[in-house]
Amino acid sequence: MNSSEFLEILKARGITFCAGVPDSTFTNIFQHILDDPDINYVNAVREDVALGIVSAAYFKNEVGAV
């Protein structure tokens, strides 16, 4: 699966917000998410911080993914 297909799956499931720890393994996916105007992305310093960020976004009626 390429990063464009992955992004379309996220969008099909209603994901509007993502947070994560940048990693060179997923550079293409992160770039596609950053370039997409329908999904907000926040860099996190650790995975637990990413969970907290996405949990907070839920209170803004955002559907999130880590």
pTM above 0.75, yes or no: yes
Q: 4-25 pLDDT, tens per residue? A: 999 999 999 999 999 999 888 8
The closest of 42, 32, 28 to 7, measured between CA atoms, is 32
The tokens for 31 are 């770039």
Asked if 17 and 62 count as a contact pair (C-beta separation under 8 A), the reply is yes
What pLDDT score does 25 carry?
Answer: 86
Q: 22-60 pLDDT, tens per residue? A: 888 888 888 999 999 999 999 999 999 999 999 999 999
